[in-house]
Structure 1
Amino acid sequence: MMDVYEPKFDQPEYTKDARRYYLICSAPRTGSSHLCELLIASGVMGVPAEYFNNRSGIRRMTKNFGIGRNGHVPMERYIELLKKHRTTANGLFGAKIQHWQIGNLTKAKLISKHFPGAKFIHLTRADILAQIVSHNIAVRTGNWNSMQGHEALELDRQSLRKSAQFICEERAAWDYFFAANQIDPLHIRYEDLETDRDSVIAKLFDFVGVETDFDFLQQPTALRRQRSQINADWIDALKSDAGY
């Protein structure tokens, strides 16, 4: 997993007015990190990352930029610096965002102001029960990039229900956001990214309006379902709790 907040991923300063934008709207455990790594590798899709996560992206990038003091982040200045340093030479800037991170942007209407005409990609996972279990394991182990250490976990139904509530709320919140703003996003599913990656990527490039001859077949496939008996048992627990 690449550390996209490292300064080595900064692009030559982009100061032209001609820019295009896209936002990957996701929830945890939908393959968004893998998708962003593929797009970064192309060299023509900006450097999409979770820039509005105050637990990681905001903290790391404001430190890189030398802005923000005493926990206060000048959001508009931050966005301008992101656009200057994370836009590829073809004028494309991308970011991924989860709905719980969007408050600082929507309160001040910063999306329409700073990302005019942005294309929206909605990344979801059809198997929502597997997504809930994966989220719960990641939360409890603190390991978001692998399943290492999950073997020792025991079923905690209350914790699992919290993950279920969070994942369902995130999905519903994005649906509401798109409907309220009359946005017709490109829909991508985790499962399609897993089984038909190249077609999904081609569709995304066409949606954003970018041409490339980059060979995605040469890129490693980091998206692998990491299942165990624990995953299966916890999915059964969710089914049991929700039974009618």
Structure 2
Amino acid sequence: MDVRGYAICTTPRSGSNFLCQILAATGVMGRPLEWFNGPGRRAIDHPDYPDEAELQLSAIRDLGATGNGVYGLKLFPEQFAAVEHLRWVERLPGLCFVHLRREDMLGSALSWARALQTGQYRSTAPRFAESVYDAALIARCLGDLARNEARWRLWFAQNGLRPLVLDYARVIADPLAAVQAVADLLGLDGPVTLGPDGVDLRIQADAETDIWRRRFIEERRTMDAITPTYSVIIDP
């Protein structure tokens, strides 16, 4: 069997849950989940999932694969940093990379701030609290997203990698095109379709999101200055 797979490299609130669900729904493109997130896996779908990184790496080839040998995973920069000692990039066979981005970074920040407050990271999950506009929280989320996106771009560049780039808006507008793009990256034959289970996630942005966006831009507009985020230190 020709074992191959892909890592979805992304940042919070960039549509990764939706993309992973439609990829899994094909039945032939692995089961891309946060396999390096023990608490998350135990809370959602695998009560006995381990915290040991080596066992999590094995789970990618086992739980994260479909019968045709294709496996998938998704991860955020902090998860990568936590397991980089495994050298998992070298150990996973036939590994390709998908860079899932959200061009509307403020949209991601608004979504992340609300999720942090409500505990609702998926449309199918319950809310544990109500969301309240908090400009400082949104600004922190925006800064963290910018840094995380920069970490991925730096890592791709310094390793000479050219990942398949998918944007949130295009994935939402044409899910099947996104699925087919990943299938083409893997070299799978023929068109790929969604199975009978389908997809139950929906967009969580609503009228409140629009109100928060307008208010945040009005309050934090800095057209005559660039807000510093971090410093670059160059060794002599």
Shorter-chain TM-score range: 0.7 to 0.9
User: For the Cα contact (< 8 Å) 1:51–1:61, is it kept in 2?
Assistant: no
| Residue 9 (structure 2) pairs with residue 28 (structure 1) | no
Pairing partner for 1:226 from 183, 205, 226: 205
Q: Which amino acid aligns with 2:222?
A: G
Pairing partner for 1:133 from 101, 105, 110: 110
- TM-score normalised by length of structure 2: 0.81
User: For the Cα contact (< 8 Å) 2:6–2:96, is it kept in 1?
Assistant: yes
Instruction: Give distance in 1, aligned partners of 2:129 and 2:33.
Output: 30
Pairing partner for 1:101 from 71, 74, 79: 79
Question: 1:30–1:215: structure 2 CA closer, same or farther, 3 Å change rule?
Answer: same
Task: Identify the range of structure 1 (184-193 vs 211-220) with the bigger mean alpha-carbon deviation.
Answer: 211-220
Identity %: 24
1:43-98 superposed Cα distances (whole Å, 9 cap, x missing partner): 11111111112431377788536x55xxxx2x223312431343222111110111
User: For the Cα contact (< 8 Å) 1:105–1:111, is it kept in 2?
Assistant: no
Number of residues paired by the alignment?
A: 220
Match of 2:6, SS state, is: strand
Aligned equivalent of 1:200: 178
User: For the Cα contact (< 8 Å) 2:33–2:72, is it kept in 1?
Assistant: yes
User: For the Cα contact (< 8 Å) 1:47–1:93, is it kept in 2?
Assistant: yes
- TM-score normalised by length of structure 1: 0.79
User: For the Cα contact (< 8 Å) 1:198–1:217, is it kept in 2?
Assistant: no
Question: 1:155–1:84: structure 2 CA closer, same or farther, 3 Å change rule?
Answer: closer
Aligned equivalent of 2:143: 165
Q: Which amino acid aligns with 2:106?
A: L
Instruction: Give distance in 1, aligned partners of 2:170 and 2:146.
Output: 20
Instruction: Give distance in 1, aligned partners of 2:193 and 2:46.
Output: 33
* Structure 2 runs not aligned, ≥5 long: 224-236
Question: 1:121–1:58: structure 2 CA closer, same or farther, 3 Å change rule?
Answer: farther
RMSD, aligned CA = 2.7
Instruction: Give distance in 2, aligned partners of 1:48 and 1:172.
Output: 23
User: For the Cα contact (< 8 Å) 2:57–2:88, is it kept in 1?
Assistant: no
Question: 1:47–1:126: structure 2 CA closer, same or farther, 3 Å change rule?
Answer: same
Question: 1:177–1:37: structure 2 CA closer, same or farther, 3 Å change rule?
Answer: same
Aligned equivalent of 2:222: 243
* Structure 1 runs not aligned, ≥5 long: 1-15
Instruction: Give distance in 2, aligned partners of 1:86 and 1:149.
Output: 28
1:4-35 superposed Cα distances (whole Å, 9 cap, x missing partner): xxxxxxxxxxxx6x421210111111111111
